[in-house]
Amino acid sequence: MTNVDLSHISGKLFIGGAFVEGRGERIDVLNPARGEVIGQIAATTAEEIDSAVESARAAFRTWSRVPAKTRSNALHRLGDLIAADAHRMAQIMTSEQGKPLNEAKGEILKLAEACHFYGEEAVRVFGEIVPNDQNGYQSQVIREPIGVVGAITPWNYPAELVGWKLCASLAAGCTILIKPAELTPFTALAIAEKVKEAGILDGVVSVLTGKGSIVGQALVEHPGVDKIAFTGSSAVGLHIQRSCPSVKRLSLELGGNCPLIVTKSADIDAAVKGATRRSFRNMGQICIAINRIYVAREIYDTFLDKFAKAADALTIGDGLNNPAADIGSMASADPLAKTRDHLADASDKGARVIAGGRAPEGAGFENGFFFRPTIVADCTHEMKVMSEETFGPLVGVAPFDTLEEAAALANDTPYGLASYVFARDLQEIYQLSAELDYGNVAINNVDAGIMNAPYGGRKQSGIGYEHGREGLLEYFNFKHVRLFHGVGA
């Protein structure tokens, strides 16, 4: 059985460029596939938070002024170091999060890719000269880094969701204090080890572990933090917006309740493949997971039949021992309980379970948070599976008769993160992509997010963007310099 040594980072904080023994109380971290304690985090104390903010403010004065090329080089070095150590970093992630090792490694490599993308963007932060109302003036619109960023992140993608904020901050010239999820702190500390190896200026990056309601909230309220970059639930995002005691820049990447529409012109096999991947990957614990599927009535039964077979074929296992399993355990008891609750609610209200519906049995599954990928058919919007974010390996399916009905059902949600369509008829494709009220629409594929296009939600799914040029802009203030030079006046 593979085990991972975390003794070098257990109980540590990363402040001012050094790993320090945290002075606060210890909180156990579990391997969710085995139910075993793998290490402890220290709850960052108020004094430690103050000292981290102070070091970030001091570092900002230097880091914001070094040439962009220096920051770019640092990001490229960081990307190389992360890629070179992807296997060990992936083991750390799997041991705290539960996803299969190969998936974790893929995520680490995407973090490395993000470092290189933002390394390239760092030297392409342009300003503008804009026309004036009189001769003799020049208006320069320039970008200046916002300052100290507080990043608060969830447990489902412990490397990428830290990484996008980290890389954008580094590229822009901001400094960053990272409060990782309580369930997955060690991936963030492993990233901090790479920051140190890359020789990034002390104080530019800190990692502060502990409870969101205490350490996260302290960053939200701290007068020395200029921006909060948050990824997590809509409830906590709204709480942050409401509880922020001063005017502060906020980016909020929040929950989703993402629909897939499969029209009668769709390639059914491609739609089944996409639905299987995007409903169940990472045990459905993805903000852009497919939660609900609307299928044209003409192909409803065929789709259900193939989809149930594909879900039943997915392999599940302990992610460290079975690196190539399709899915691992869930990250904790909470999302598993919510999945069971949504399943029971759907069954009570008349849905048919056509795949899964239970935990896998046998050796290796006794102590972990495992559940079979589950499909419920004939769903209605009275069921939680269709109207709330499950964040688990459960998806609801319903038939539709007209495209207008499908679009209306898809938009019948307070969320607006990602949506998916499988169709081959061009008119259907255009109609749906115009009508879907979502920040992302993926058509005939299920990968809505790529590194160089903006990624963000609407409505209760958040404000602001990550990825792409737009994501980097979230870390800048604009400054208008109106200069009178007198030439031509």
CB 317 within 8 A of CB 363: no
- Of 213 and 427, nearer to ligand NAP (C-beta) is 213
Residue in the shown chain whose Cβ atom is closest to ligand NAP = 212
Token match 């998916």: residue? 420
Give the pair of three-digit tokens for residue 55. Answer: 């070091």
| CA–CA dist 164, 171 (Å, integer) | 11
Closest separation in Å from C-beta 185 to ligand NAP: 9
CA atoms within 13 A on the CB side of 103: 27
- Of 239 and 469, nearer to ligand NAP (C-beta) is 239
- Of 273 and 340, nearer to ligand NAP (C-beta) is 340
Contacts of 301 (CB under 8 A, 6+ apart): none
- Of 13 and 310, nearer to ligand NAP (C-beta) is 13
Give the pair of three-digit tokens for residue 127. Answer: 């300003």
Closest separation in Å from C-beta 125 to ligand NAP: 23
Q: Find the helix or strand (DSSP H, E) in which 443 lies.
A: strand 440-443
In DSSP notation, 146-196 reads --EEEEE--SSSTTHHHHHHHHHHHHHT-EEEEE--TTSHHHHHHHHHHHH
Give the pair of three-digit tokens for residue 235. Answer: 């409830």
In this structure, which amino acid lies at residue 43? Answer: A
Residues recognised as catalytic: 253, 287
Determine what percent of the chain falls in helix, strand and coil, rounding each to the nearest 5. 40, 25, 40
- Of 156 and 279, nearer to ligand NAP (C-beta) is 156
Closest separation in Å from C-beta 240 to ligand NAP: 6
Closest separation in Å from C-beta 337 to ligand NAP: 13
Token match 């750390």: residue? 92
DSSP one-letter code for 316:
B
Task: Give the residues lining the site for ligand NAP (CB under 6 A).
Answer: 152-156, 161, 179, 181-182, 211-213, 216-217, 220, 231-233, 236, 239-240, 253-256, 287, 389, 391, 417, 457, 462
